[in-house]
């Protein structure tokens, strides 16, 4: 029974709890047992809140027994990336500088999930302050990919992706700044959705780069992603960057039809042609990823979609633009971690002054990658370099957005592989930050342009999952979800499960 529960979608679990086929406590107990067993090998959770989760599940069962109305996620276990604030629950962003920090408030998405009846199982491991593409930058050790324990699960939301893939939870939330939901989704063989910037409130998310960060779900099906987005989306007075754009019924958009859908493919970019200008990068596309991508396009064409070649001439500059804009914003956002009001503080020596305390706290509390990004960001914002680097990056960012605007005059979605390679080995790229950054070559464009994007499993390369990435128009998550759901109905890649530890 327990193993069967673990394979059910969030939608199925919600319906089963609602009619009493299974209790919320039974579902919670099964997921807790799986999470505790899997975490020994995967290190996907920083915290498993068993007592809190069971108490919440018991409350859901009492509400059902009393005939009270239940929410759209009633009894569904969910894991949260450890950069989302939960009142009374340790929240560290996988950083030593926030060891022991317990927020006094809930993030807006957490409040909305619990109002909808979700059961929070725990907090997932991630790259420190969401800075990384491999989940190796965590102060609590790397997460391991459920498909191959010597491989990365992707980053920065690697713990959330691994937890969903390993059947610990049907849903997890991550945050996506340059690909941190979609790339782990691809590496772990699950669905990862980055909504339009402003679709989901960032209140309570520990900020990395405020003009890029967006919270999104990791699930095993597009239908579950639609369900979660319907719950967490919408304007929030606590976050001035949220949009008042109406939130549609995303589930109603899942018709299974793609007839007439126009799919744009920037082949000059995806094909890794030689770069055409200073600062341009090649994609290094793996042959197995290429085959899976082309097969996915063929499947959608046979279902009635059309594939149209498009041009995104500035996409080749997206990596350098991203690592200028994101590091500049990180430098500003992380200035608040100084050991004064909360978090880690260096004890130092008895006679150290305030400046020394600041310096030692930040040196001891931040990991190497976070320090690297703070220094890069501080440099590009400094006098004499601001115009040459940060301002220029913002100008190219505008050009990139215009490329997409022109493309969407002719197509409905833009398709690329989610990552140029399947999951790479742990330690393989840690000594070469540039190669690590290039893992995001296909994902950074969408957040720079503020656009929604989804990764859906589309095959395997050398036994490791591959993701198909679809990018849509502003606030048109419905088309992305409809396309991803239709693709799932054509294939069975999303049903594949990694070898799991004993339950």
Summarised one tens digit per residue, pLDDT across range 427-469 is 999 989 889 999 999 999 999 999 999 999 999 999 999 999 9
Res 250: pLDDT = 98
Mean pLDDT computed over every residue of the chain:
95
Domain containing 218 equals 2-260+455-495
Assess contact for 154 and 186: CB atoms under 8 A: yes
The per-residue pLDDT for range 173-194, each reduced to its tens digit, is 999 999 999 999 999 999 999 9
* Within-domain flag for 48: yes
Res 342: pLDDT = 86
Cis peptide bond N-terminal to 156, omega within 30: yes
Res 503: pLDDT = 47
In degrees, rounded to 5, the angle at the alpha carbon of residue 331 between the alpha carbons of residues 329 and 333 is 65
Res 1: pLDDT = 59
* Within-domain flag for 169: yes
Query: Averaged over 366-393, what is the pLDDT?
Result: 95
Q: Which of 115, 97, 187 is nearest to 148 (CA)?
A: 187
Assess contact for 236 and 111: CB atoms under 8 A: no
The per-residue pLDDT for range 62-112, each reduced to its tens digit, is 999 999 999 999 999 999 999 999 999 999 999 999 988 999 999 999 999
**Region class of 275: left (phi > 0), else alpha (psi between -120 and 50), else beta:** beta
Rounded Cα distance, 222 and 251, in Å: 9
352 — pLDDT class (breaks 50, 70, 90)? confident
How many other β-carbons are positioned within 10 Å of the β-carbon of residue 168?
33
| pLDDT of residue 479 exceeding 70 | yes
Assess contact for 318 and 444: CB atoms under 8 A: yes
* Within-domain flag for 8: yes
Res 284: pLDDT = 83
Q: Return the bridge partners of 219, or none.
A: 171, 191
Q: Return the bridge partners of 233, or none.
A: 200
The per-residue pLDDT for range 243-302, each reduced to its tens digit, is 999 999 999 999 999 999 999 999 999 974 444 454 555 568 999 999 999 999 999 999
Res 217: pLDDT = 98
* Within-domain flag for 85: yes
How many other β-carbons are positioned within 10 Å of the β-carbon of residue 108?
24
Element (H, E) at 357: helix 354-365
CATH assignment at residue 217? 3.90.1300.10
Assess contact for 429 and 134: CB atoms under 8 A: yes
Structure token digits, residue 239: 């976050």
Strand (E) positions, 88-241?
Answer: 119-124, 171-176, 191-194, 214-219
Res 349: pLDDT = 63
Structure token digits, residue 257: 């039809």
* Within-domain flag for 23: yes
pTM value is: 0.96
Known catalytic residues are 81, 156, 180
How many other β-carbons are positioned within 10 Å of the β-carbon of residue 86?
24
* Within-domain flag for 193: yes
Structure token digits, residue 76: 């569904």
How many other β-carbons are positioned within 10 Å of the β-carbon of residue 395?
11
Total domain count, the chain: 1
The per-residue pLDDT for range 207-250, each reduced to its tens digit, is 999 999 999 999 999 999 999 999 999 999 999 999 999 999 99
Res 499: pLDDT = 87
Res 5: pLDDT = 94
* Within-domain flag for 237: yes
């Amino acid at each position: 029974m327990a193993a069967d529960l673990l394979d059910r979608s969030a939608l199925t679990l919600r319906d089963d709890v609602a009619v009493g086929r299974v209790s919320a406590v039974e579902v919670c107990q099964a997921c807790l047992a799986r999470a505790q067993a899997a975490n020994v090998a995967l290190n996907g959770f920083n915290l498993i809140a068993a007592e809190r989760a069971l108490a919440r599940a018991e409350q859901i069962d009492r509400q059902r027994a009393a005939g009270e109305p239940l929410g759209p996620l009633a009894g569904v276990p969910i894991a949260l990336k450890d950069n989302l604030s939960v009142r009374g629950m340790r929240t560290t962003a996988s950083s030593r500088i926030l060891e022991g920090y317990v927020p006094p408030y809930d993030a807006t998405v957490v409040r909305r999930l619990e109002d909808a009846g979700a059961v929070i199982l725990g907090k997932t491991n991630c790259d420190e302050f969401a800075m990384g593409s491999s989940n190796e930058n965590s102060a609590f050790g790397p997460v391991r990919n459920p498909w191959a324990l010597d491989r990365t699960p992707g980053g920065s939301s690697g713990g959330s992706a691994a937890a969903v893939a390993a059947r610990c939870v049907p849903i997890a939330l991550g945050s996506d700044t340059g690909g941190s939901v979609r790339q782990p989704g691809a590496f772990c063989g699950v669905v990862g959705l980055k909504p339009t910037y402003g679709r989901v409130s960032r209140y309570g998310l520990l900020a990395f780069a405020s003009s890029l960060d967006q919270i999104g779900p990791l699930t095993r099906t597009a239908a579950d992603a639609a369900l979660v987005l319907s719950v967490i989306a919408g304007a929030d007075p606590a976050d001035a960057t949220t949009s008042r754009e109406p939130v549609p019924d995303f589930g109603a958009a899942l018709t299974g039809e793609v007839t007439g859908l126009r799919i744009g493919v920037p082949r000059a970019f995806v094909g890794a042609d030689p770069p055409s200008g200073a600062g341009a990068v090649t994609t290094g596309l793996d042959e197995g990823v290429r085959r899976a991508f082309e097969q996915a396009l063929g499947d959608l064409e046979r279902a009635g979609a059309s594939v149209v070649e498009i041009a995104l001439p500035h996409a080749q500059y997206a990596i350098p633009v991203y690592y200028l804009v994101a590091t500049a914003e990180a430098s500003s956002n992380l200035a608040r971690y100084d050991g004064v009001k909360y978090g880690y503080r260096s004890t130092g020596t008895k006679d150290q002054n305030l400046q020394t305390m600041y310096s030692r706290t930040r040196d001891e509390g931040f990991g190497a990658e976070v320090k690297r990004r703070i220094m890069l960001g501080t440099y590009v914002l400094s006098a004499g370099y601001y115009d040459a680097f940060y301002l220029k990056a913002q100008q190219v960012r505008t050009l990139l957005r215009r490329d997409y605007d022109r493309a969407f005059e002719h197509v409905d979605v833009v398709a690329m592989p989610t990552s140029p390679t399947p999951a790479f080995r742990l330690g393989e790229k840690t000594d070469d930050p540039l190669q690590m950054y290039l893992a995001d070559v296909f994902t950074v464009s969408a957040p720079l342009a503020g656009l929604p994007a989804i990764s859906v499993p589309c095959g395997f390369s050398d036994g490791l999952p591959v993701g198909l990435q679809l990018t849509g128009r502003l606030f048109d998550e419905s088309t992305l979800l409809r396309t991803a759901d239709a693709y799932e109905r054509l294939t069975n890649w999303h049903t594949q499960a990694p070898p799991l530890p004993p339950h």
